[in-house]
Amino acid sequence: MTLDGELVEALEKDYTTAPITPQERVMVDYVVKVTKDATRVRKDDIEGLRTAGFDDRGILQITMIAAWFNSINRVADALGVGRAS
């Protein structure tokens, strides 16, 4: 979470060019892959997270948070939350 509006805007526009650390970039690349198609996650993705400094607990937390947000967003979309009638 951040209160930096410019960073949020840069991430929304194109996270690959946003001013984030290399560790954050590896994490976001992984989260994007989980979000788009979790069945495509491979050992190399997990090893990339480890190389970036995340331990097994951190990798589990990243995965669970990404999965939770994906799930809750789908529920909200299905129920029309935030959509004009």
Q: In one letter, which amino acid is 49?
A: L
Residue 32: domain span: 20-79
- Note the pTM of the prediction, 2 decimals: 0.85
Q: How many domains does the chain have?
A: 1
pLDDT, residue 82, reads 82
Share of the chain above pLDDT 90, in %: 89
Identify whether 34 is part of a domain. yes
Q: What is the DSSP string of 20-84?
A: --HHHHHHHHHHHHHHHHGGG--HHHHHHHHHTT--HHHHHHHHHHHHHHHHHHHHHHHHTTT--
Identify whether 9 is part of a domain. no
CATH value at residue 63: 1.20.1290.10
pLDDT, residue 1, reads 64
Identify whether 7 is part of a domain. no
pLDDT < 50 stretches in the chain: none
